Structure 1
Amino acid sequence: MPTPRALRPLVVLVGIAALVLAGCAPGKNQVTAPASSASASSSVPAQDYGDLADFYGQQLDWTTCDAGECSKVTVPLDYDDPSGPTISLAISRHAAEGTPIGSLLMNPGGPGASGIDFLESFLGEATSKLKKNYDLVGFDPRGIQRSAPITCVDPEEMDRIIALDPDTSTDAGLQAMIDESATFSKECVNRSGDVFGHVDTISAAKDLDIMRAALGDDQLHYLGFSYGTKLGATYAALFPKTAGRLVLDGALDPTLSEGEIESGQAGGFENALRAYVADCLKGSSCPLTGSVDDGMTQIRALLDRAKVNPLPTGTDRDLTQSLTFSGIAVTLYSQSYWAALTQGLAAAIHDNDGSILLSFADVYYDRDEDGTYSTNSTEAFRAVNCLDDRSDPDFDVMRAEAAQIQKVAPTVGSFFSYGATGCADWAVPEVGGLDDYSAKGAPPVLVVGTTNDPATPYAWAQSLAQTLTSGVLLTYEGEGHTAYRASNTCIAKVVDAYLVDGKVPDDGTRC
């Protein structure tokens, strides 16, 4: 399932396109943005932190690396046992090109995406205003890439898993899905050890506060995308007094149930696919014909065909139904990828050639041409989500939910159903989330939503802005997943004014 997760740059596709729209909407009462008191040389009094004092008071050793400077932050493996085992979190920093306000910590999403990898690409896209005024800091959250990474399976087994076309029509098929997940999680424990049970979002948010102190900042300034918005919202709820300027772009409201996430995303991808089909049918090279409904039916027919007869790809890997959908879904994250989707669909529909869509699916899963996986994003994605929330795997309940999702998304809804099987019989207990995400006492938190975002539907940005007591909603009217860096100068100016100048936009501002 393509639940909210970040993607590596799709270098095989076309470049980023600019979109421009603007408007207004009603606002709500505002509070003043915090004046930054962060300082790279400020010292945080370790004695204020009880059993965590040594972690908060640690000094960082920096070395030169591709992003600028790199270091390690030591945190407890288990915050309920701070005197127990510890893990090291990798961080990188690009020093401000002017006098720094402080550090801006960034998370690209996932869960499972590397913030260090993200920082290296972000430097080429960040505005000069942001680079001048902040030390830009990337980090790999616990369990991810360079930070006590979890590992579960070999590349060959991962190939098999991502290509699986499950049978949801029978109880035996659903039980087989549960058994697959149970086996997967047991392998994760065998290969990863205790860290596998401690990569939950609450622990990662507590890590953020230790990073803040270790960096010498009195407040956390933060830019989070997709799942990174859940991490940021969790931080604000846990540490409202040290929350600084927080931007949450492509919002995932942590109060949503798994069923609500499944239904919302199904509708999001259905709508994004319809927008693509409508655009495709205007062009001369579109492999689809007739009306938009006809085009959606033709895409569903391709998906059904791939399940019965997987498409050849010129390799020893055929394009299964699951891989077909992944290859389509990844291109819906940005309107700039639509031309590439047209190429992939044309090859699949007209030539029975699945090679292009397979290459897109491989981008989604971070699979390299040599058959290895460049990140552990898929393993971490499942591990974090299954620690944070689990739904009832009752077969009748799941079938009723699937029927509702199918009404919302008749073309792609089947790929967002039966998610409860993915964490059933998991090898480590659920951690869960917080009881209250209102973050009372936090300064204004800027929530950014895109009206036709497939992965994090716009309604989630609206609900997160309402969930947060000081939430302020900024809307981008357009296509694609997240808005800052990928939409228009209006969004960039509003976000930069908030981060750098502390200027809070009117709630409901639209670009």
Structure 2
Amino acid sequence: MKVLRRVVTASVVLAGLTLSGCSAPAPSSPGASQSSAPGAGGQGATSGASSSTDAASAAPVLQPLPAAIPAELQHYYAQTLSWAGCDSGFQCATMKVPLDYAHPADGDISLSVVRRPATGQGFKRLGSLLVNPGGPGGSAVDYAEYAASSYPSPVRASYDIVGVDPRGVARSSPISCLTDKQMDAYTATDTTPQTQAQIDALVAADKSFAQSCAQRSGKLLSHVSTVDSARDMDVLRGLLGDAKLNYLGKSYGTFLGATYAGLFPTRVGNMVLDGAIDPTLGPLPLNSEQAGGFETAFGAFANDCAHRSGCPLGGTQAQAGAKIDELFTAWNTHPLSTGTSRPLDEALGMTGVIAAMYDQGQWPQLRLALTQAERGDGSGLLALSDQYYERDPSGHYSNLMYANAAVNCLDLPAAASDPQQVEQQLAMYQKASPHFGTSLAWSGLTCAYWPVKPTGEAHTIPAHGAGPILVVGTTRDPATPYAWAQALAGQLDSGVLLSYDGDGHTAYARGSDCVDTAVNLYLLSGRVPAKGTVCK
């Protein structure tokens, strides 16, 4: 789930700018033994368990689509993919899907697809494995190319690794919003306003963002929902020649995969949902519980830091919390020099800290960045923030944040409709996350000014008729709290939960032999782990 700091948290990580959205750790930071059940994963997981149960009982059910392919869509399933060599050993193609599934005669859009054929080294080919890293807004093409070199070799030997950038993302008819300079200003907007003038500036920034997306992206904004992308995946399944869809989704990719299972349950093959989102939650509990997830992750980081010499936050977890609040406040009034024309203010600094929560492998980089910041140098934290927003050294942004907002604002209503409602919600966020809650609460305003009305709502996904679906949850996941994985596995008729008692966002192919062994066995044979399996 990629939580991007100033863009929505709604449909899933909503991640994913908390940013809202979720995605798996970037390819630059990829990504055991069994024990008894873990301790529920901290604040985010604990609060999420009860609210998820309540939400599930009240949420409508996502109903499957008719099994037969409608006549007006037959020609999409009958198109031929023209594969061509690309990117050093991969094959690329372009596919067509309707802009509007309700009115397919209104025109098509193009989606970019990549695959690497199964290596076949000692294993029988099992078909295609479609992968998605999350976001919404993460490039599945980029992630497939990463997965094809980093996933365990038995999986790569047995499956063609396939990625399709979802509609509106990267190479697939991308959503466009701001210029790069405008995005620089937007990401630095104060998200902890204390005066009316600061609130007005934040609202103006959100309104301008929304208006720019409407001007630059037009009617596409109405047709980039998760349901649309799930239907696109079924077209691709047919074009790949697979009777059932084999799929591995991370973070927001779990919501996309679960949505596919709800719409096409009888076409589900082996499906892994890692770093799960609970579709029964509305935008407010999603955002506040995600805030709790980041608080839990920061606590784990602070505890680790406190046990290392030279920790810039102090020698105890309590000292670390007080120190990070002190730093955020200082950067808000006195931004740090970064050696560039962009000073590090509280908004960018907090994003840098949040970015490092996704992967404990980045904790050393965060410790160094905080040490530099103590000396007045904000360059390390700015680099982490830029990585989070996918801003390259030339100053160019990918369209991650634009697609993130566009999908989230279609999938769920706004978490707050105006500043007054945010102020009413602040106590809830601050309780869930004393250090990040205020900023994440104000981030819930983005969809309030969106030019397109939401088409989705919170719902339950039972996926009646699907085979076993493996849901993976990490106990101290910052972006998708563990309770969400528990909730998704519980509402899926055939859901099976695999728990990882650890840190970081998502678990598969990130260093746990226990997790990898269990997921590999399922992907290769369909055998799920024993009930209650917990990896360390």
TM > 0.5: yes
| SS of equivalent residue, structure 2 residue 472 | strand
User: Which of 328, 338, 341 is matched with 2:353 structurally?
Assistant: 328
Distance 2:444 2:504 in 1: 27
User: Which of 76, 85, 96 is matched with 2:118 structurally?
Assistant: 96
Instruction: Give 5+ residue unaligned stretches, structure 1.
Output: 27-45
Distance 2:411 2:200 in 1: 22
What is the aligned partner in structure 1 of residue 449 from structure 2? 425
What is the aligned partner in structure 2 of residue 198 from structure 1? 223
| SS of equivalent residue, structure 1 residue 222 | strand
Q: Quick one: structure 1 residues 420 and 278, their matched pair in 2 at CA, closer, same or farther if it must change by over 3 Å?
A: closer
Distance 1:372 1:74 in 2: 28
Give the drift of 1:16. 6.4
> 4+ residue runs of structure 1 moved beyond 6 angstroms?
none
User: Which of 70, 83, 86 is matched with 1:65 structurally?
Assistant: 86
Maintained 8 Å contact 2:307/2:315: no
| SS of equivalent residue, structure 1 residue 461 | helix
Once the two structures are superposed, the pairs formed by residues 35-50 of structure 1 within 5 Å of their partners are 48-50=69-71
Q: Quick one: structure 1 residues 432 and 178, their matched pair in 2 at CA, closer, same or farther if it must change by over 3 Å?
A: farther
Distance 1:161 1:411 in 2: 21
Q: Quick one: structure 1 residues 342 and 10, their matched pair in 2 at CA, closer, same or farther if it must change by over 3 Å?
A: farther
Q: Quick one: structure 1 residues 16 and 75, their matched pair in 2 at CA, closer, same or farther if it must change by over 3 Å?
A: closer
What is the aligned partner in structure 2 of residue 32 from structure 1? none
Give the drift of 1:357. 0.4
| SS of equivalent residue, structure 2 residue 304 | helix
| SS of equivalent residue, structure 1 residue 418 | helix
Question: Is 1:216 matched with 2:241?
Answer: yes
Maintained 8 Å contact 1:272/1:454: yes
Maintained 8 Å contact 2:460/2:491: no
Maintained 8 Å contact 1:3/1:455: no
Q: Quick one: structure 1 residues 111 and 192, their matched pair in 2 at CA, closer, same or farther if it must change by over 3 Å?
A: same
Give the drift of 1:248. 0.3
Give the drift of 1:132. 1.0
Distance 2:313 2:443 in 1: 30
| SS of equivalent residue, structure 2 residue 104 | coil
Distance 1:85 1:372 in 2: 30
What is the aligned partner in structure 1 of residue 22 from structure 2? 5
Give the drift of 1:206. 0.6
Instruction: State the number of aligned residues.
Output: 485
Distance 2:203 2:456 in 1: 20
Q: Quick one: structure 1 residues 403 and 25, their matched pair in 2 at CA, closer, same or farther if it must change by over 3 Å?
A: closer
| SS of equivalent residue, structure 2 residue 449 | coil
Q: Quick one: structure 1 residues 487 and 288, their matched pair in 2 at CA, closer, same or farther if it must change by over 3 Å?
A: same
What is the aligned partner in structure 1 of residue 523 from structure 2? 499
| SS of equivalent residue, structure 2 residue 463 | coil
Question: Is 1:388 matched with 2:406?
Answer: no
What is the aligned partner in structure 2 of residue 337 from structure 1? 362
What is the aligned partner in structure 2 of residue 231 from structure 1? 256
Give the drift of 1:53. 0.7
RMSD: 1.9
What is the aligned partner in structure 1 of residue 430 from structure 2? 406
Maintained 8 Å contact 1:221/1:245: yes
Distance 1:472 1:47 in 2: 28
Give the drift of 1:420. 3.4
Q: Quick one: structure 1 residues 24 and 78, their matched pair in 2 at CA, closer, same or farther if it must change by over 3 Å?
A: same
Maintained 8 Å contact 1:303/1:325: yes
Q: Quick one: structure 1 residues 218 and 117, their matched pair in 2 at CA, closer, same or farther if it must change by over 3 Å?
A: same
Letter in 1 for 2:376: N
Question: Is 1:446 matched with 2:470?
Answer: yes
Greater shift after overlay, 390-399 or 56-65? 390-399
Distance 1:229 1:493 in 2: 20
Letter in 2 for 1:121: Y
What is the aligned partner in structure 2 of residue 286 from structure 1? 311
Distance 2:351 2:200 in 1: 23
Letter in 2 for 1:211: L
Give the drift of 1:506. 2.1
Give the drift of 1:336. 1.2
Q: Quick one: structure 1 residues 22 and 306, their matched pair in 2 at CA, closer, same or farther if it must change by over 3 Å?
A: same
Give the drift of 1:416. 1.4
What is the aligned partner in structure 2 of residue 253 from structure 1? 278
Maintained 8 Å contact 1:4/1:456: no
Structure 1 residues 199-245: Cα deviation after superposition (integer angstroms, max 9, x where no partner): 11110111111110111111011000000000001111111011111
| SS of equivalent residue, structure 1 residue 83 | helix
| SS of equivalent residue, structure 2 residue 135 | coil
User: Which of 447, 457, 461 is matched with 1:437 structurally?
Assistant: 461
What is the aligned partner in structure 1 of residue 75 from structure 2? 54
Maintained 8 Å contact 1:10/1:363: no
Please give the TM-score of this superposition, normalised by the length of structure 1.
0.91
What is the aligned partner in structure 2 of residue 37 from structure 1? none
Distance 2:311 2:341 in 1: 29
Give the drift of 1:337. 1.0
Maintained 8 Å contact 1:245/1:502: yes
Distance 1:420 1:364 in 2: 19
Maintained 8 Å contact 2:191/2:439: no
User: Which of 331, 352, 372 is matched with 1:306 structurally?
Assistant: 331
Maintained 8 Å contact 2:311/2:367: yes
What is the aligned partner in structure 2 of residue 40 from structure 1? none
Structure 1 residues 309-365: Cα deviation after superposition (integer angstroms, max 9, x where no partner): 11111110000111001111111111111111110010112x111010001101001
Distance 1:287 1:24 in 2: 35
Distance 1:292 1:86 in 2: 54
User: Which of 489, 498, 518 is matched with 1:465 structurally?
Assistant: 489
Once the two structures are superposed, the pairs formed by residues 70-149 of structure 1 within 5 Å of their partners are 70-98=92-120, 99-149=124-174
Structure 1 residues 408-448: Cα deviation after superposition (integer angstroms, max 9, x where no partner): 21112112113331111211121114744111111111100
| SS of equivalent residue, structure 2 residue 22 | coil
Letter in 1 for 2:336: L
What is the aligned partner in structure 2 of residue 31 from structure 1? none
Maintained 8 Å contact 1:174/1:421: no
